[in-house]
Amino acid sequence: MHLGRRAITCAATASLLLAGLAACGASEPVPETAAAAGEGATAYPLTVENCGQEIVFDAAPQRVVSLDQGSTEILLSLGLEDRVVGTASWTDPILDSLAEANADVPRLADEAPTYEVVLGADPDFVTASFGRHFAQGGVADRGRFAETGIESYLSPTDCDGDVSINGGGTRTQPLTFDSLYQEIRELAQIFDVSSRGEDLVAELETRRQAALADIAASDLTAAFWFSDLKTPYVAGGLGAPALLASEAGVSNVFGDLPDDWPATTWEDFVDRDPDVIVMADLSRERWPGDQAAEKIEFLTTDPVTKGLDAVVGERFISLPGAEMNPSIRMVDGIEALAAGLQAIEAAA
């Protein structure tokens, strides 16, 4: 059975949104940070330490360009759509709940925009989920933005100490929800909407704890496949899918690899023989195999993979790519992954 995204959506989502805040912190407390104000207006000038750089704000930014879907969805969730003058680098459609807020936000590019295109939007602030935008070959380094008076911000989910993981570094510590909540709180404080940040963190944590409460220990193993048919990019042991696997109680067969998305071979994939294959279903068409349907067609016809037990048993779970990236969509990913695993175990 192919368990598509719609088929595995947790039926209890509506009730989760109504759960009380008493569920927060049932297994892990939500940490407070310097940016977790929630107690009145932001005091400017505001200094934020961000991935080894110090950024200073004399006032709340008025015109922000977000270079990634993840950072855009946080800004929209904070009610800041009137400040977003450009967005880029999308893998999936906008969340339904944010569609109206996103309707008038200019899409500068489906992938990464050029530096000149970003400047054309006349921003006073630029945010990114992934440090590749600020690395050589990306949009522009942060110093170049600073030279034109534009402050820049990189998600803490992409920082290992003072080093950007997607900007050329390597993750040494596993990703946690703490860094996502830090991003929400810092952006909320920067824009002087700290109480909205606290509300968003509380909502996400309530949903997360509710999902965790329904998860039982499992002996299942899984491989997380993002893209590419020739040399598949799979989830290593420290990034967002590894966090999803840990939360959902399943073992990641590539968990010994430190990179977020290392490339592997199909021979290695077969040797690791996962019980379940979790695949990204991307709306983009950048590489062959971006869509889940293409992935399944490949797995079921390729001589190397078609004999895998997971393929023969059609133990597939598809998730939007955004749910495999460090973002607010990780909570959706936990809910969907847990529901998909429960359906697979029930059918066994």
Q: Is the pLDDT of residue 31 over 80?
A: no
Architecture label for domain 2-14+217-347: 3-Layer(aba) Sandwich (3.40)
pLDDT band at 141 (very low <50, low <70, confident <90, very high): very high
User: pLDDT by residue (tens digit) across 300-321?
Assistant: 999 999 999 999 999 999 999 9
Q: Is the pLDDT of residue 21 over 50?
A: no
| pLDDT on residue 1 | 34
Q: Are 88 and 110 in contact (CB under 8 A)?
A: yes
pTM: 0.86
pLDDT band at 229 (very low <50, low <70, confident <90, very high): very high
Q: Is the pLDDT of residue 28 over 80?
A: no
CATH superfamily name and code, 42-191: Nitrogenase molybdenum iron protein domain (3.40.50.1980)
Among the listed ranges 13-17, 29-33, 87-91, 102-106, which one has the minimum average pLDDT value?
A: 13-17
Mean pLDDT of all residues belonging to the chain: 88
Domain pair 2-14+217-347 / 42-191, same fold: yes
Strands (DSSP E) found in the chain: 2-3, 46-50, 53-57, 64-66, 84-88, 107-109, 125-128, 151-154, 159-160, 163-164, 221-227, 233-234, 251-252, 276-281, 316-320
What does the domain layout of the chain look like in residue ranges?
A: 2-14+217-347, 42-191
